[in-house]
Amino acid sequence: MRTGSSRISPKGGTWTGHAPGTGLEALLGQAARGEADAFEAVCRQIAAPVFGTVRAVVRDRSQSEEVAQEVLIEVWRAASRFDARRGSAMAWVTMIAHRRAVDRVRSEHRSAERELRAASHAVPYDDVTETVLASLDAERVRRCLGSLTDLQRQAVTLAYYRGYTYRQVAALLEVAAGTVSTRMRDGLIRLRDCLEVER
């Protein structure tokens, strides 16, 4: 069984790894038993990545705040469903955050695919992505994204930071959907290997 910190490569020093027992996994376990103090500690660790992820996708600040708060409450509500054998606590939390953010965006833009087809062909390697990737903490992620092919990187970042579906990405990049899905997978595998996260 891994410890709370062995998952994270030493090179990934910007990742907020914690000693076993005080780590996010342990705190989530305590929160699942209804301990409010543990949940507060969880919130302190996850609020910034949750809010940042949601804001990248949702954009609107007040809506992002609303969604981020929903995510924190969902983490409390579903804490007992976190299973450390299936991945890290941060992966579980950010998955909830990202899923909820894209669900919010897609419920508002059901016709986004049509809009996208009509939209400019310029690929918006947009301001949020730039800001995000310029931050010091993101340096390692930025370098690893840089090791991807252009199409892999665009597919991954448009999906993750803009909340586009792979079909929307395909329309935007004027590439076959099947190609985009393959590039997303290859790109993530390469990113995973570059970041040396545990499989």
Partner 1 sequence: MRPGRPEPHTLAGAYALDALAGTDRARFERHLTRCEQCALEIRGLCEATARLAAAAACEPPPGLTERALAAAARTRQLPPAAPRDSAPWPARPAAITGSAGPGYRAAGPRWRGWVPRLALAAAAAATAVAVFLGVAAGTAAHRAGEQQLYAHAIAAVLTAPDATMLSGRVTTGGAATIVMSRRDRALVFAAAGLRPLPSSECYELWLMGPGGDRPAGMLPDPGQGMTGPVIASGLTAGDRLALTIEPAGGAPHPGATMILVIAL
Restricted to residues 76-95, the positions that interact with partner 1 (CB under 8 A) are 76-83, 86-88, 90-92, 94-95
Query: In the numeric block, which tokens belong to residue 16?
Result: 């907020």
How many residues touch partner 1 under the rule CB under 8 A: the total is 90
Neighbour count for residue 58 (Cβ, 10 Å): 22
Within residues 148-167, the interface with partner 1 by CB under 8 A covers: 156, 159-161, 163-167
Select the residue interacting with partner 1 from 13, 20, 124, 178 (CB under 8 A): 178
Per-residue contact track with partner 1, 39 to 58, x per CB under 8 A?
xx--xx--xxxxxxx-xx--
DSSP state letters, 96-136: HHHHHHHHHHHHH-TTHHHHHHHS-SS----HHHHHHHHSG
- Does residue 10 bind partner 1 (CB under 8 A)? no
Return the SS3 of 5.
coil
- Does residue 171 bind partner 1 (CB under 8 A)? no
CB of 118 to partner 1, least distance (A): 19
Cα 73 to Cα 139: distance, rounded to the nearest angstrom? 30
CA distances from 103 to 10, 16, 57, 163, 165 (A): 34, 27, 10, 9, 11
Nearer to partner 1, 40 or 115 (CB): 40
Within residues 90-129, the interface with partner 1 by CB under 8 A covers: 90-92, 94-100, 102-104, 106-107
